[in-house]
Amino acid sequence: MEISFGIEFLANEPAEKLADLVKTSEDNGLAYAWITDHYNNRDAFALLTYIAANTSKIKLGPGVTNPYTRTPAQLTSAIATVNEVSNGRAIFGIGPGDRVTFDGLGIEWKKPLTTVKETVEIFRELLTGKKISYDGKVCKIKSAKLNFSKGANIPVYIGAQGTNMLKLAGELAEGALVNGSHPRDFESAVKLLKEGTDKANKNFDDFDVAAYTSFSIADTMADAEKTAKPVTAFIVAGSPDVVFEKHGIPIEDVNKVRDGFKESFGAAVKAVTPEMLDSFSICGTPNECIEKIDKLIKAGVTQVIPGSPLGPDKVKSIELIGTQLIPHFVK
């Protein structure tokens, strides 16, 4: 798999602004744009359709949608519509979804792995254009047929962190979107993804291991850090202790961030240490980012996805990625 760069955008900006940012990304050589999907932000598929109409090369997909707030058939129709509007540029990013949000919505998070698996199977069958039925453990379809996009070939990427979800991604999908900004995050993930591709008799070299990173690039480390720290503080506060064990971060330091939030947002941000920044973000000048990305690629990453916050000035960050990082890695 050749190295490529994607970019993640939260669906928290109006469509025109996001489309401008994605167009700037396309003009700067980014190959994929992933739009996050949470019901309380703008609708990912409405945004993707608007973005599709305003771009021409970049591949587009939800990063990631889930099989609980939309049914498998609805998801297929939504992605196929984005594929039609974009002239074949759609990618289907799907994961089990955000449990906390589902609790709030009264949606039961039953058998998330099985639900993702069955949804991907239904998606692929419906895209053949044939009339289908499906009798899964969770998903049941008596009779369904898609009236358009027959035979569309849309790659599937599974958002995965857990052991079984990573194996499933390897087995079933064309790629995985793994949350992680440090090579340590990919040591075991890559092994599990490979277990999956082996099980399905697929060549692991054709599998896209995508790193969903927290990213901040600027002309100086101080500027990059200032923007990265608040996001890192949120990541630290929201992660379980096992994550800090993996990265060798003392729990006393973590508690200073957690306690900081009780006092003020500023106090939490102030408690972020350089070790936390290194573990949970790619942050720095173009050269510093290149060094870190190089380590990710050595750990098995094939698609690098700069994500929130990107840097103090998003457009400038995209231009730095396009002019300084991409030419270094993509020949």
Does 175 contact ligand F42 by CB under 6 A? Answer: no
Closer to ligand F42 by Cβ: residue 83 or 181: 181
Q: Which stretch binds ligand F42 (CB under 6 A): 13-21, 172-180, 246-254, 287-295?
A: 172-180
Closer to ligand F42 by Cβ: residue 163 or 255: 163
Judged by CB under 6 A, the residue of 3, 20, 38, 290 near ligand F42 is: 38
Q: Which stretch binds ligand F42 (CB under 6 A): 21-29, 96-104, 145-153, 251-259?
A: 96-104
Residue showing tokens 């598929």: 45
We find the least distance from the C-beta atom of residue 64 to ligand F42, in angstroms, to be 4
Q: Which stretch binds ligand F42 (CB under 6 A): 58-66, 72-80, 214-222, 273-281?
A: 58-66
Judged by CB under 6 A, the residue of 12, 74, 164, 264 near ligand F42 is: 164
E-only strand ranges, 73-203: 92-94, 132-135, 140-144, 156-159, 175-179
Closer to ligand F42 by Cβ: residue 178 or 271: 178
Dihedral sign (CA 303, 242, 99, 261): negative
Structural contact between residues 109 and 178, judged by C-beta atoms closer than 8 angstroms: no
Does 97 contact ligand F42 by CB under 6 A? Answer: yes
* Strand pairing class (132-135; 59-62): unpaired
Closer to ligand F42 by Cβ: residue 96 or 311: 96
Q: In the structure encoding, which two tokens stand for residue 278, read together?
A: 């290194």
**What is the CB neighbour count within 10 angstroms for residue 329?**
15
Does 64 contact ligand F42 by CB under 6 A? Answer: yes
Closer to ligand F42 by Cβ: residue 119 or 317: 119
- From residue 76, alpha-carbon distances to 90, 120, 208 in Å are 11, 9, 21
Distance (Å, whole) CA 227 – CA 231: 8
We find the least distance from the C-beta atom of residue 96 to ligand F42, in angstroms, to be 4
Q: Which residues pair with 178 in a beta bridge?
A: 211
Phi, psi values for residue 237, rounded to 5° = -65, -30
The footprint of ligand F42 (CB under 6 A) covers 36-38, 63-64, 66, 95-98, 111-114, 159-165, 177-179, 212
